[in-house]
Amino acid sequence: MTGGRCVVRARTPLRISFAGGGTDVAPFPETEGGAVLSATIDRYVLGSLVADDRGSMSVESLDYGVSLELAPGEDFAPDGKLDLVKAAIKRVWREDERGYGIVLSSSAPPGSGLGSSSAMVVTVVSLLNEYHGVAMGEYDVAQLASVVEREDMGIAGGLQDYYAAAFGGFNYIEFGERVIVNPLRVREDVIGELEMNLVLCFTGGTRRSDAIISDQTQRYTRAETDALSGLREQKLLALSMKAALLRGELDDFGYLLGQAWQAKKKMSPRISTPHIDELYEAAQRAGARGGKVTGAGGGGYMLLYVDFERRHKVVEAMEAMGATASGFSFARQGARAWKR
């Protein structure tokens, strides 16, 4: 409590996906079982909730410069203004609500390939749980957040981002009749080497992932050869990369990262673009062992693996082509909320 008000904070990490993306999208998990290898990084969605007696709810996004006021009894109908946040509030709405204001900020915009929209929903769920005194484990938080975006809002996509955000750290996540998160005990020296050798490159634009995912799903449903083989290769590569990571075989890990990108591109022609292909080829010429787009594709961030001694060459090559390249650190904790 601060000055008679209840103040709640929350912080949720964004994620990078190494392999397996797409195998978490229905109907593949139900028919063949999916697997994703991912890790959270030091990019975050931040949230603050201040409760008072205003009798209404306000939400402000610092990234978009958008704010809205929600009156008690409103139907929270989608109107293009912070619809995911409204859907999350509606899910946990209480008739005796006193009122509160929520402020949100993200290190990356939606469509950047770092799972920011899902992390934002996890942040709002975590804020409201802490505010209402509801104890929920990581599985419950992730599952509720997925229901908000995938079912309530009807946005096509996979499940990995919610579980990565809720659990944090390095995880091998399996999807089938239920979701199983396997936290990985990666050696500290391996983590340090990864942080020196990995580069995040912003390709210069965001995209709507649901259109790409819908195309991928339709191709799988029609049993198109490339889509089928791409998804099945992704699943196998997630397992191989997990083994390389745990053994500290990082040269193999970097090579497999590139193989995961080649497999991913088979899933839909919308996943890559001429600009992304040009960036990737330039990165390889400059010394990158492998790399891939970190989300559904079509834009956003590309993850590159390059020996530290050549890293500056890759960064220079990317920036010469108008992209932005930077390093990062891994985040060990998942979503957290606390009262101030």
CA atoms within 13 A on the CB side of 165: 34
Q: How many CB atoms lie within 10 A of CB 120?
A: 28
Beta bridge partners of 106: 45
Taking a C-beta distance cutoff of 8 angstroms, is the pair 292, 302 a contact? yes
First-residue to last-residue Cα distance in the chain:
6
Write the single-letter amino acid at 230.
G
DSSP string for 56-125: SEEEEETTTTEEEEE-TT------SSSHHHHHHHHHT--TT---EEEEEEESS-TTSSS-HHHHHHHHHH
Q: What angle do CA 111, 116, 119 make, to 5 degrees?
A: 150
* C-alpha span between 6 and 46 (Å, rounded): 17
* Candidate list 161, 251, 252, 277, residue with the active-site label: 161
- Please state, in angstroms and as integers, the Cα–Cα distance from residue 69 to each residue in 56, 163, 209, 277, 304, following that order: 7, 30, 28, 43, 42
Distance CA 51, CA 99 (A): 6
Q: How many CB atoms lie within 10 A of CB 281?
A: 12
Backbone phi, psi, residue 225, to 5°: -55, -50
d(CA 100, CA 64): 20
User: CB–CB of 51/100 below 8 Å?
Assistant: yes
Q: Examine the residue annotation and report whether 161 is marked as an active-site residue of this protein.
A: yes
Residue 295, SS3 per DSSP: coil
Helix axes 116-132, 83-91, angle to 10 degrees: 30
CA separation for the pair 64, 70 (Å, rounded): 18
In the chain, the amino acid numbered 240 is S
Query: What are the catalytic residues?
Result: 161
